[in-house]
Structure 1
């Protein structure tokens, strides 16, 4: 693809070419009209000089051609001059009889007409002089003309000079356009240089002291780097937390395996196997939650937001029935209303968050458990509620502090579940609220800004 400078220069050049054609036509038309007006005045002046020099002697017109008339016509030195003086009877008194008046101009006292002079295009002026004397009564017409070389030359000269001015101004415009484009691109070059010189791990915002038009791109670039920085930080924390969380259960499994290989008592071997199974199941749940957290972190910045009805999320999680398989002894009820509870979010992330809240309710709450979605004070809420009292107030406050520090992933598996729900809430502009309700029940809820109502 060509450079922006070349494209602007080409655009200006095309504009100048089109403008040059238009200006050429207009300049030639103006030049031809100006030349015609100027030389027509010379012809008319010469004809008037000749007409004023006609006198009457003994009843006959006497003509003495004035030098001044030909001096006026001498301003076109390369043109041929012709004249004809016509008496009252229509006879030629002097001059070229080849000069013929147009048939539709015989009654015109004065004016102009185009014709030819010995095969060359010519322009003529007519001046009539009326005599009313006893010896001469009638009109004498004076016809003076010249060829059109000087006229055409003047028209071409005006056109040529106009094109010279257009070419000079066009060249100046192209140079100015190049200079302006280069000056406009200078901030981009500075930005590119700054990005090239940066450390690959430096995702701090770029300097926004750039022209307003370029600031839009800088803001978008800074926003992209901020999202990338959040994802990288989240991934670094996830890797660190994974190493921290897995070290102990893996070491415990290895120790139990060593005990099993060195144990001779069959009953003790069975207990070791039970512990290994319990540890393996716990490790599996921990890995599932960590993978869920990685999915939520990834989708939080990359997934496309869409209008989601939180009632559908609660209904899908309830109908999937995972709780009935894993915790058949726990009763779960669905509580959704008839009004839509819509938010702008991502369906898989919301499902993952609700599943983790439900899993925590199974582990640490009391039946019956309810899941639902509702509108509360202009907020769209999806929640899980159980009959237990939940953690005490001090523990709830500590959980909130850990959410703010972003270190909950280092806690137990319950903390991981809440951390996943908290990440989903923050990703879509909401919050995780853990509270004891007025009915002596414990509720974990995700609160979001309700999406604007869609028109019918």
Structure 2
């Protein structure tokens, strides 16, 4: 069972899936940026706290921090800040008694902040250590201020920034999804209108579609109009063919019926035999026309190349000539075949090629006129084609009459033929990559059917 899908759903997926992937990548990038932003902001807050503590220690001569400074440090840092200050010679001044042990062994430079990571009370913390030259109670030396803050507060701040950004993107994606879903529906409305316009048509209405459609669909409509035009042409040709076929079959059928009725009333055995021979001739003609009509109907649809077989055309031509030759010789005509020695391989439909050759020979016999005395068949292996030429010395056929001679149900001059023989031969030649041509000759008629070697 063929799986069906909605064009609306497909367009929605083609638009939204890439946007979702891009949104995921932007969300990851935004989270990383938020972490970096939080790291920078909190590091600056730690630096401000360290500088404020150093200033208070210097001003107060080693006393505790003022309440104002403690409040400012807490507010600026965005959370609880721990600190530890030592004066000259490493004397403890103020703050928490035991600062976190820093794993880094790098020596801090004077008046240059040094950041590191450590653990304090089993929690990861960010540590800042700064060394300044101070003088307390007349003692000068290097004072070290160490401040630290829990990493959890930084991560929570970064996560909060990321959540806000992700919420904003999710809202935008949801809004965009709604816009795309209903926008695609509105965009496909011309297709639905086109479907409705086609659905209300009757089977007999094959006129062109003239409804206004978007540029992207104009190619589809143009192709559909071209197909409708071809279907209309095919139906017209089929109707003409049926009409002509009925006309061609009516006369032989009437003749057979009339001869059968007169045969019943024959006064003498000789007259009966004469009418019986005429009846047989009319029946053969009717059968011939019927076979040609069936062949023409089959040739209306091109034969797929996969159905072609490879065979020896020389042998096929000889078989056809062997079948027709005795009848021509019995009419007092000369009949000859000229073919190369050995095989002449070709890929095609053997039945149709045989029928086409029979039609060429039959055409020469029926239209040769009273002065017809010879019919010849020549098989030639050319460069890219194989040619079969049927010539006679009858009243002749000019290339100027090719349209009438090769057309369906048409003849250059009235005769008892159906007007299909040369049309069938021309169609067979075209389906085998060649053509049927009327050769300019001084005496009689000469037709060449060329076919690709394959």
Whether TM-score is above 0.5 comes out as yes
Alignment of 1:99-138 (within 5 A): 99-105=99-105, 107-109=107-109, 110-131=113-134, 135-138=138-141
Is the contact between residue 304 and residue 346 of structure 1 (CA under 8 Å) also seen in structure 2? no
Q: Does 1:54 pair with 2:53?
A: no
Of the three residues 386, 392, 400, the one matched with 1:387 is 392
Deviation at 1:103, TM superposition (A): 4.2
SS of match in other structure, 1:84: strand
**Total equivalences in the alignment:** 433
Is the contact between residue 369 and residue 387 of structure 1 (CA under 8 Å) also seen in structure 2? no
Distance across 1 between alignment mates of 2:415 and 2:199: 40
Distance across 2 between alignment mates of 1:336 and 1:213: 60
Distance across 1 between alignment mates of 2:169 and 2:341: 76
Taking a change above 3 Å as real, the CA distance of residues 256 and 6 of structure 1, as seen in their structure-2 partners, is same
Match of 1:23 in 2: 26
Match of 1:98 in 2: 98
Match of 1:241 in 2: 244
Match of 1:408 in 2: 410
- CA-to-aligned-CA distance 1:238-294 (integer Å, 9 cap, x gap): 211221111111112112222222335222222221111111111111111111111
Query: Where in structure 2 are there 5+ consecutive unaligned residues?
Result: 330-334, 369-373
Distance across 2 between alignment mates of 1:145 and 1:408: 108
- CA-to-aligned-CA distance 1:340-396 (integer Å, 9 cap, x gap): 999xx9776555444422332344452222244545xxx957442313255354xx6
Deviation at 1:28, TM superposition (A): 1.7
- CA-to-aligned-CA distance 1:318-341 (integer Å, 9 cap, x gap): 14x122123233222236999999
Deviation at 1:219, TM superposition (A): 4.4
TM-score (norm 2): 0.79
Of the three residues 419, 422, 428, the one matched with 1:418 is 422
Q: Does 1:292 pair with 2:290?
A: no
Is the contact between residue 341 and residue 374 of structure 1 (CA under 8 Å) also seen in structure 2? no
Q: CA RMSD in A?
A: 4.0
- CA-to-aligned-CA distance 1:392-417 (integer Å, 9 cap, x gap): 54xx645524756x552897526210
Of the three residues 42, 45, 48, the one matched with 2:48 is 45
Is the contact between residue 85 and residue 146 of structure 2 (CA under 8 Å) also seen in structure 1? yes
Taking a change above 3 Å as real, the CA distance of residues 292 and 412 of structure 1, as seen in their structure-2 partners, is farther
Bigger shift: residues 188-197 or 160-169: 188-197
Query: Where in structure 1 are there 5+ consecutive unaligned residues?
Result: none
Deviation at 1:71, TM superposition (A): 0.9
SS of match in other structure, 1:273: helix
Q: Does 1:327 pair with 2:325?
A: yes
SS of match in other structure, 2:375: coil
Distance across 2 between alignment mates of 1:390 and 1:308: 37
Distance across 2 between alignment mates of 1:258 and 1:181: 75
Q: Does 1:9 pair with 2:7?
A: no
Match of 1:434 in 2: 438
Deviation at 1:14, TM superposition (A): 4.0
Taking a change above 3 Å as real, the CA distance of residues 63 and 348 of structure 1, as seen in their structure-2 partners, is farther
Distance across 1 between alignment mates of 2:218 and 2:341: 46
Match of 2:205 in 1: 202
SS of match in other structure, 1:368: strand
Match of 1:361 in 2: 364
SS of match in other structure, 1:331: strand
